[in-house]
A and B are shown apart, each in its own frame.
Chain A
Amino acid sequence: MPDELRPIRMEVGVHRNADGSAYVEWGENKVLAVAYGPRELHPKHKQHPLKALVQCIYNMAAFSVGDRKRPGPDRRSQEISKVCSEALTHVVFVEEFPKATIDVYVEVLQAGAGTRCVGLTAASLALADAGIPMKGLVTACAAGKVGDRVVLDLSKEEDNHGDADLPVGIVVNTGEVVLMQMDGHLTKGEFDEAMGLIDGATRKIYEMQVAALKCKYQEVGE
């Protein structure tokens, strides 16, 4: 179905050392996000006197793709880190932690199309798990075009042969769009259609995020 999501499984609190963490399997994707902070920001000249810096660092494991990826940041991952950091900054109450940093490390262990959406969805769960005060969770999903058809949540095969890709991050409880990128070819009508699909999908994914968070704390409570 064009409006069907791939199977998604989320787990919160999966990492020992981190202040908060989440693991998300979404289609063929396997992504771990861990959050540290708020903690002191180094180097000090990067500290902001009135608010915390939110840094999301997206990284793909060397073995996460078909041909081995050379480890370390490349231009693509730096761009993704930037737009994801900006998306998360919007939901965190950064004024609560002047001079501090709140870091989320997104590790793509297995990539299967749509990793930035999986990573951003996992990152906001990790922040919530770390107890960072936030105005809402960020939920991300992509739509695209295969042939002449607008479809939701492209698989790897569809993505490789797709004619457009539109990843969007939404704060579901306010409806705000905090991440938006697009490449390919979309008419304005197709863009509206794609945004409609993403709107419906992010509501469903948001419910899964809430359930994953509740699940952990129910266990702790018992």
Chain B
Amino acid sequence: MREEVIAAIERDHIYRSASQGRRLDGRALDEHRRVEIEVNPIKTAEGSARVRMGNADVIVGVKMALGAPFPDRPNDGVMTTVAELRPVAYQYFETGPPRPESIEIARVIDRGVRESKMIDMAKLCVEEGVKVWVAFIDIHAINHDGNLIGAGGLAALAALMNTTVPAKQFGIGEDFPLPIEHYPIPVTSVKFGSHIAVDPTAIEETVAECRLTTTFDEEGALRAMQKGGDGAFTRAEIDRIVSTNSEVSNTIRKYIGAGT
């Protein structure tokens, strides 16, 4: 991603507003944008979801295919997660091979799904050691306005919850819903000086010192974390973020009715 240039005056304005508990779009610091979830908008995918958070807009498609299991897990299905940040979504995204930014987004979302044991992988085994179902989770940014991990992660969750395994098409029995066991929700906060703001927009992300993503399951346990950016957090700031993000994850969970 090319570096975006932000006028110092705009940056200062965001920091000054944060110190007064305000943000450019009128939200409180701990307030998440409105979330809209559209389920299965893409008929060519085995499961899909489109998530809008304010002006952020992401589609996730899940494609299922048959493949070989990993040798050390002969009875488990396989999943892979890729994020495509193309210029369609943002003028500063570039074409070409995946950059560290997109790799990081995909891997943090992947960790939440994988580590929460969201999908019951054992039920995706077709023939031990030979053939298993592979879930391809593709995150496609449509309009970038910050918090791609949050929007992409929620879209991945909604898409997986609505995925049908196309067994009939492959001649191995009846179609069945992808077996879902847990519901991980990633929430991201950023730091402006000594102030913390949840669910950053693109410009907030650009001027923030650093961000911390925390992924919670339906029981409130941490399943994945990632700090990004050149800045640093104090221990107290991390505790504050974990607690705020945890509350916000419960709010978002209501949109999706996942594990509540």
CA of A188 to CA of B116, assembled, Å: 15
> A171 touching B232 by the CB < 8 A rule?
yes
Question: Using Cβ atoms and an 8 Å threshold, which residues of chain A touch B230?
Answer: 86, 89-90
Known A75-B103, A89-B230, A188-B220: A180·B246 in contact at CB below 8 Å: no
Known A183-B115, A184-B115, A186-B222: A177·B233 in contact at CB below 8 Å: yes
Chain B proximity mask over A1-36: 1 for CB below 8 Å, otherwise 0: 000000000000000000000000000000000000
> B232 touching A90 by the CB < 8 A rule?
yes
Question: Using Cβ atoms and an 8 Å threshold, which residues of chain A touch B234?
Answer: 175-177
> B100 touching A191 by the CB < 8 A rule?
no
| Cβ-Cβ contact count across A and B, 8 Å cutoff | 91
Could you tell me the distance in whole angstroms from the C-beta of B160 to the nearest C-beta in chain A? 18
Question: Using Cβ atoms and an 8 Å threshold, which residues of chain A touch B210?
Answer: 86
Q: Does any Cβ of B come within 8 Å of A82's Cβ?
A: yes
Q: Does any Cβ of A come within 8 Å of B107's Cβ?
A: yes
Question: Using Cβ atoms and an 8 Å threshold, which residues of chain B touch A199?
Answer: 235
> A82 touching B100 by the CB < 8 A rule?
yes
Could you tell me the distance in whole angstroms from the C-beta of A23 to the nearest C-beta in chain B? 26
Could you tell me the distance in whole angstroms from the C-beta of A73 to the nearest C-beta in chain B? 10
Question: Using Cβ atoms and an 8 Å threshold, which residues of chain B touch A78?
Answer: 100, 103
| A interface residue numbers (CB < 8 A to B) | 48, 75-76, 78-79, 81-83, 86, 89-90, 166, 171, 174-188, 191-192, 195, 199
5 contacts between A and B (CB under 8 A): A75-B98, A90-B230, A175-B235, A179-B227, A183-B115
> Given contacts A79-B100, A180-B225, A180-B226, could you give 12 more A-B pairs where the C-beta distance is less than 8 Å?
A79-B103, A82-B104, A83-B104, A86-B210, A86-B228, A176-B233, A177-B234, A181-B227, A182-B226, A183-B223, A184-B115, A185-B222
